[in-house]
A and B are shown apart, each in its own frame.
Chain A
């Protein structure tokens, strides 16, 4: 009985995972081969790979794959470097830095709906505050959210702005775990601040950077709310990433079958990239975790 105790305890979780993960994925897989409009028709026709072939003929879909990768890459770059820089800056035990550390969390606390609306107003070209500042410097106003070349990058910045506090707090937590004795010893050995950063700080926060990188990748690739609430994938599909494209297919064009096919492709891409990420970037000490029986 003792042997099966653990299994009994884990059954509710398994059932939950089956319902919220496997069941939707199987439904999605099944719908992707059928002529489904809304998603729950009775006995829809089986159409084989037609949804997939139509997708790959659609330049907007192909473009959305490229944009999703670009979106993720730009976000990762900012979301890993800026939090690290800020954490190094704020990693001091003084009153001022403690205050800054507490307010730095504010963007992270805000729901994405609020973030989207606030930024939409701030970036509005005619009555928005940012353009008001730009124009007051006698510079020409900028079309932030209506430009086919600029809007994508502006949205990356807003998305990263929202993530940075979370990343910073995690980095700060990692930095606080490094014993000060190591720095003291290095100083005694004559290491300068750059050398201390490279040889002590970076190796010891590697695990956290790896973890933040993974989170930032998953969240960035799946970003939907910000894009939908600001541009709906426009102008002229310039911000049409995969999640936005899938949503539009499913809930605006009512092409649930095609949307399922696109969602499955997106899931496969995500899993593949995640596996590659695990294989390449997992810190050595984590790869070799062994459970020691007591």
Chain B
């Protein structure tokens, strides 16, 4: 009898593995080895709890994400789901390749409570098409020691005026000493980094790309004022930042050549590894007649129609809900990219799994600020609470904001001309 029981158990396990195991495949675009390892850690945990489901991750670098997604849609070879950002989800939506995920959002929301601002970019025509997994808010990060040395206080600026004056003071005083430290780090390269910094400044005046009906509302006095302020502030940013992207600005900040900059919190990992704790953050300063605001980039998962066809939908749903469990979500956020990837649910944001991570714990105040920033963040084109104009994907991809700022800081155009130019460029994308 005992032998028979053992035999039956073995047979059951064997048949689960051989016959009843569902294999789901997903794409993500986080190619660094430690990110792939974090994904695998989560997959292993899931498979242990769900032996009937096998999960396979496939890495498609960000540079190929659009072309490979569209090619796979065209060829009918899409994975079951993929990690994404709003622009890519819109592309997949436009290609009629994904399914609405309202039921998953509802389930996660009831269990873990979504931070509502994070859902906005994924709402198209009343339905959700992406499940936010983590987000990336921009805050003003700074070096307290530099502030203390040149401003006599570790207290960071809270308003635009204070920010401009502090940046000027640090730059001029350090210049006098013969070792210039720039008060602010702003880029003006033709890239996403510039775009995100510019937009963070714009949010402080409530700039909106579109109204609720999807009409372009970019060229406003608020936009002009925000660009003017960026231009003023840029005078205290290092020369050469017209050619900068992520690498240069991070290097300069880490080397102590920049005192403050609107940026993501991810540098804390580098500082932690170097045992340098001279790093903190504050909510992006705003004008006295402005609002708290910053750029935020929620990262989601969208599910392809192929998952439904293959009968994989339940397994995919199970996996996505699993990803949002606070202990699991902490692996994808605190462990994978502390400070850069931030939880999007209240439960995960308050979870001990998140706060007990050694890096997060070390820069506790900074991470509290970053978590707070998730409440104020918006993303260009999605300010009204949903995706109202799908041309935003092309506008963002073409780096229109970055090119506009390059034109301003290089003196090629006045602020007014540059904003006009940007609006015309946006119109041309909308027309298409």
A interface residues, Cβ below 8 angstroms from B: 35, 37-40, 120-121, 124-127, 141, 143-148, 151, 230-237, 248, 251-255
Q: Are A146 and B241 in contact (CB under 8 A)?
A: yes
Q: Could you say which of A39, A40, A253 contacts B397, with CB atoms under 8 Å apart?
A: A253
Q: Is B247 on the interface with A (CB-CB < 8 A)? A: yes
Q: Measured between alpha carbons, how far is A237 from B403 in the docked complex, in Å?
A: 8
Q: Is B71 on the interface with A (CB-CB < 8 A)? A: yes
Q: Is B311 on the interface with A (CB-CB < 8 A)? A: no
Q: Could you say which of B71, B406, B429 contacts A40, with CB atoms under 8 Å apart?
A: B71
Q: Which residues of the partner chain A approach B397 to less than 8 Å between Cβ atoms?
A: 251-254
A189 CB to closest chain B CB (Å) equals 56
17 contacts across the A-B interface (CB closer than 8 A): A38-B66, A40-B70, A125-B240, A127-B257, A145-B243, A146-B239, A146-B241, A148-B410, A148-B412, A232-B189, A232-B399, A234-B243, A251-B66, A252-B398, A252-B399, A253-B398, A253-B429
Q: Measured between alpha carbons, how far is A232 from B190 in the docked complex, in Å?
A: 6
Q: Could you say which of A39, A121, A126, A234 contacts B189, with CB atoms under 8 Å apart?
A: A234
Q: Which residues of the partner chain A approach B71 to less than 8 Å between Cβ atoms?
A: 40
Q: Are B70 and A235 in contact (CB under 8 A)?
A: no
A273 CB to closest chain B CB (Å) equals 28
Q: Which residues of the partner chain B approach A37 to less than 8 Å between Cβ atoms?
A: 432
Number of A-B contacts defined by CB within 8 Å: 98
Q: Measured between alpha carbons, how far is A125 from B251 in the docked complex, in Å?
A: 12
Q: Assess A143 versus B239: contact at CB under 8 Å? Given A124-B248, A148-B412, A252-B397.
A: yes
Q: Could you say which of B243, B252, B257, B399 contacts A146, with CB atoms under 8 Å apart?
A: B243
Q: Which residues of the partner chain B approach A147 to less than 8 Å between Cβ atoms?
A: 242
Q: Is B191 on the interface with A (CB-CB < 8 A)? A: yes
B256-271 near A? 1/0 per residue, CB < 8 Å: 0100000000000000
Q: Measured between alpha carbons, how far is A35 from B432 in the docked complex, in Å?
A: 9
Sorted from nearest, which 7 A-B pairs have the closest CB atoms? A125-B240, A145-B243, A146-B242, A234-B190, A146-B243, A235-B242, A253-B398
Q: Measured between alpha carbons, how far is A35 from B255 in the docked complex, in Å?
A: 48
Q: Could you say which of A38, A120, A125, A126 contacts B70, with CB atoms under 8 Å apart?
A: A38
Q: Are A144 and B240 in contact (CB under 8 A)?
A: yes
Q: Are A126 and B432 in contact (CB under 8 A)?
A: no
Q: Is B100 on the interface with A (CB-CB < 8 A)? A: no
Q: Are A230 and B243 in contact (CB under 8 A)?
A: yes
Q: Measured between alpha carbons, how far is A254 from B243 in the docked complex, in Å?
A: 24
Q: Which residues of the partner chain B approach A121 to less than 8 Å between Cβ atoms?
A: 251
Using C-beta atoms within 8 Å of the partner chain, give the interface range for chain B.
35 or more
Q: A145-B243, A255-B432 are in contact. List 9 more A-B contacts (CB 8 A).
A: A125-B240, A126-B239, A127-B257, A147-B242, A230-B243, A234-B406, A235-B243, A236-B403, A251-B67
Q: Is B407 on the interface with A (CB-CB < 8 A)? A: yes
Q: Could you say which of B67, B242, B248 contacts A120, with CB atoms under 8 Å apart?
A: B248
Q: Are B398 and A127 in contact (CB under 8 A)?
A: no
Q: Which residues of the partner chain B approach A127 to less than 8 Å between Cβ atoms?
A: 251-252, 255, 257
B400-431 near A? 1/0 per residue, CB < 8 Å: 00010011001010000000000000000100
Q: Could you say which of B74, B257, B394, B406 contacts A254, with CB atoms under 8 Å apart?
A: B394
CB nearest neighbor in A for B189 = A234
Q: Are B240 and A126 in contact (CB under 8 A)?
A: yes
Q: Is B304 on the interface with A (CB-CB < 8 A)? A: no
A121 CB to closest chain B CB (Å) equals 8
B215 CB to closest chain A CB (Å) equals 21
Q: Are B406 and A235 in contact (CB under 8 A)?
A: yes
CB nearest neighbor in B for A248 = B398
Q: Is B377 on the interface with A (CB-CB < 8 A)? A: no
Q: Could you say which of B66, B239, B255, B407 contacts A125, with CB atoms under 8 Å apart?
A: B239
Q: Measured between alpha carbons, how far is A40 from B393 in the docked complex, in Å?
A: 18
Q: Measured between alpha carbons, how far is A234 from B412 in the docked complex, in Å?
A: 12
B68 CB to closest chain A CB (Å) equals 11
Q: Is B188 on the interface with A (CB-CB < 8 A)? A: yes
Q: Could you say which of A126, A236, A237 contacts B252, with CB atoms under 8 Å apart?
A: A126
Q: Are A124 and B240 in contact (CB under 8 A)?
A: yes
B3 CB to closest chain A CB (Å) equals 59
A158 CB to closest chain B CB (Å) equals 13
A200 CB to closest chain B CB (Å) equals 46
B333-367 near A? 1/0 per residue, CB < 8 Å: 00000000000000000000000000000000000
